[in-house]
Amino acid sequence: MSMLEIKNLSKSFGDLEVLRDININIERGEVVVVIGPSGSGKSTMLRCVNLLERPTNGAILFEGQDITRLGRDTPSYRQKVGMVFQRFNLFPLKTVLENVTYAPQRLLRLPRGTAHFQGMEYLRKVGMESKADAYPNTLSGGQQQRVAIARALAMRPEVLLFDEPTSALDPELVGDVLAVMKQLAREGMTMLVVTHEMGFAREVAHRVIFMDQGYIVEEGTPEEIFGNPRNDRTRAFLARIL
Ligand code: ADP
Ligand code: MG
């Protein structure tokens, strides 16, 4: 049994079919990178996995359980799935450390001292411990994104979803965020990453999935997808972005 199984997932908004028969299995410790043009359904797919959207058809199994039918176990599933967005969405009126400790105190019921101690550990992990008392608007985009990653980690997720985490950053800030993501991958974190950073995909991904117009067009190892794409649409997309 895979950790996460997306089975025949489809999603429509009214008449607009955004996802069509998506099938993805993700093993524990695997890093899967999803690429594809704007509007191909990548964000919607991630949003279905963390229950921000309801699938129109199909099933999403986490450790064998259909997450769309969890009922009262939904909050505990949400805790296991962390998400990092393109826009970091930090709480503007909380300090960096408060951003990281808020959910663990509220949702995991950690005592304040424990949450702060662990929060500092996560900030250290992303290289942001010196900014623990700063407010988000005093940080660069790259620093805010690293805090957002620490905040996601503080909930002790079993899988992390990333939706174009570096797309909103100035080019010189991208590397620091990718370095944190590479470190997480090395430590065995299960990750589903939508990104246009092909260097990251080549170096870190176990598998690359190319989506277009709501379909998975092609998937394979980074060597297969970047070195020898079989589908014309994959080739055309890569020619545009590489
Ligand atoms: P991607 O992340 O690959 O750019 P999205 O998943 O954001 O693609 O969007 C896929 C398609 O679904 C787009 O045509 C988008 O306009 C549409 N879409 C996304 N969310 C909604 C929504 N809440 N209501 C209506 N249409 C949506
Ligand atoms: Mg998107």
Give tens-digit pLDDT for 193-203: 999 999 999 99
Q: Could you report the per-residue pLDDT of 81-106, keeping only the tens digit for each?
A: 999 999 989 999 999 999 999 999 99
In sequence order, the β-bridge partners of residue 24 are: 6
List CB-based neighbours of ion ligand 2 within 5 Å. 42-43
Mean pLDDT over 218-242 rounds to 95
Ligand 1, atom 27: nearest CA belongs to which residue?
A: 13
Model pLDDT, residue 232: 97
Does the predicted interface ipTM exceed a cut of 0.90? yes
More confident call, 58 vs 74: 58
Among the bound ligands, the one closest to the CA of 15: 1
Is the confidence at residue 241, as pLDDT, over 90? no
Dihedral, CA atoms, 87, 92, 94, 98, nearest 10 degrees? 0
| 44 CB near ligand 1 (under 6 Å) | yes
Q: Give the pLDDT confidence score for residue 237 in this predicted structure.
A: 96
What are the backbone angles phi and psi of residue 18, rounded to the nearest 5°?
A: -100, -35
pLDDT at 71: 86
Average pLDDT over residues 160-170: 97
Ligand 1 pocket residue status of 119, Cβ below 6 Å: no
**Mutational test site, ligand 1, from 17, 18, 38, max ligand atoms within 8 Å of CB:** 18
Is the confidence at residue 78, as pLDDT, over 80? yes
Average pLDDT, whole number, for the chain? 96
* Per-residue pLDDT, 75: 87
Which pLDDT does position 73 carry in this prediction? Answer: 87
What number of CA atoms fall less than 13 Å from residue 235's CA on the CB side?
A: 5
Tell me the C-alpha to C-alpha distance, in Å, between residue 57 and each of 3, 21, 53, 118: 20, 8, 12, 39
Q: Is 40's C-beta closer than 6 angstroms to any atom of ligand 1?
A: yes
Q: Is the CB of 39 under 6 A from ligand 1?
A: yes
Instruction: Tokens for 183, please give them.
Output: 């470190």
Predicted local distance difference test score (pLDDT) of residue 179: 97
Whether the CB of 42 sits within 6 Å of ligand 1: yes
Query: What is the pLDDT at residue 227?
Result: 95
Ligand 1 touching residue 18 (CB < 6 A): yes
- pLDDT for the residue numbered 144: 97
| Beta strands 190-194 and 159-163, pairing class | parallel
Q: 61 falls in which pLDDT band (50, 70, 90)?
A: very high
From 34, 43, 161, 233, the mutation candidate for ligand 1 (largest count of ligand atoms within 8 A of CB) is 43
Residue 18 pLDDT: 98
Atom index in ligand 1 nearest the CA of residue 47 equals 6
Cα of 208 to ligand 1 centre, how many Å? 21
The model carries a pTM of 0.96
Determine whether the shortest distance from the Cβ of 209 to ligand 1 is under 6 A. Answer: no
Q: How far is CA 210 from CA 31, 148, 203, 216, in A?
A: 14, 26, 17, 6
Q: How much distance in Å is there from the Cα of 221 to the middle of ligand 2?
A: 22
Measured in Å, residue 41 CA sits from the centre of ligand 1 at: 6
Helix (H) and strand (E) counts in the chain: 9, 10
